Amino acid sequence: MKAAQLSSFGPPTQLQIVEVSRPEVLEPADVLVRVVTSGFNPIEWKVRSGAMGQALRRPLPAVLGWECAGVVENLGSEVKGFSVGDEVFALTPFSRDGTHAEFVAVDQNHLAHKPASLSFDQAAATPMTSQAAWSMIEAAGLLQGKRVLILGAGGSVGHWLVQLAKEQGAHICATASGLDLQAVLALGADDVLDHRTMSIDQFEPVDIVFDLIGGEQQASAWKLIKAEGQLISIASPPDASLASALDVRGQFVFTQPRGVVLAEIARRIDAGRLLPLAVAAVRPLGDIAAIHAEAEARSLRGKTVLRIGAP
């Protein structure tokens, strides 16, 4: 089968389209998926370059990509709830070969049936960012009546986070920029400002900060958090000593694949409770090195997915 394989850590040219053996269903709980579309996420260029350090290093050569939509090709002996021919989508762990290939073996617990209302391209754009948002909401606890601030709400994770927080009854303050400002308001945010031209000091104090950016934006948000509030980040670990000094709980959330969460997200999408993420570009697998270069140069806009097989 064809796969985008990383031969060694370094520049995008280390990614090559090669022929590799099709994965077998090695474990009883594995589902072999024929990949139709695979989602690209910016963390991939950081892993490829070696910038993530030992935490996400893989034995090489390796196939990257950790979210996909496709069709069930084969089943392990203990798989329940899935059949050959089912349309599915998945978030896979960093520890296994990834989804930028014609086939991928996925643990049944990391898999769910594809939302019926979504195309394969839309479904492949969903797992990582929606589960990241879900994990942040879980970490925060009940949001009814709480004031929350979402830093970087205009991105893919923000798309889901605004909707999930609104559904729980939170008052949402958010930062975004450009055309994303109106999109974030349309998703349910109550107050939005352009972080490029305005200071978040204009917001009233909040109970929870959801940080999708890190760096200076995270640093500037501490002073807005009420005592006994929370700062929850997927971008960079909050400063523990600062959190303690301010009587604030800081959490760094790392998203783990959970099929039950994907199934619930699919149910809400099909019920019209969650709006799907727009796909900015559908590109061939052969563009993978160029996509990495664009992402690293910060010139890649919106969600990009890779079309790998026929529906």
142-177 per-position pLDDT tens digit: 999 999 999 999 999 999 999 999 999 999 999 999
Q: Is 84 helix (H, G, I), strand (E, B) or coil?
A: coil
- Residue 57: band (very low, low, confident or very high) from pLDDT cuts 50, 70, 90: low
Is the bond preceding 257 in cis, omega lying within 30 degrees of 0? no
Q: How far apart are CA 118 and CA 216, in angstroms?
A: 37
Map residue 110 onto helix, strand or coil: helix
Whether 55 shows a pLDDT value over 90: the answer reads: no
Task: Decide if domain 129-252 falls under CATH 3.40.50.720.
Answer: yes
In the chain, the amino acid numbered 288 is I
Q: What is the pTM of this model?
A: 0.95
Q: Averaged over 222-234, what is the pLDDT?
A: 98
35, 68 in Cβ contact below 8 A? yes
What is the per-residue pLDDT across 2-39, written as a single tens digit (0 to 9) for each? 999 999 999 999 999 999 999 987 799 999 999 999 99
Q: How far is CA 64 from CA 58, 61, 231, in A?
A: 10, 10, 30
Structural domain boundaries of the chain?
2-126+276-307, 129-252
The percentage of residues in the chain with a pLDDT greater than 70, rounded to a whole number, is: 98
Rounded to whole angstroms, what are the CA distances from 238 to 19, 225, 233, 266? 42, 13, 7, 31
- Residue 148: what pLDDT? 99
Taking the C-alpha atoms of residue 288 and residue 263, their distance in angstroms, rounded to an integer, is 29
- Per-residue model confidence as pLDDT tens digits over 98-114: 999 999 999 999 999 99
List the CATH code of the domain at 2-126+276-307.
3.90.180.10
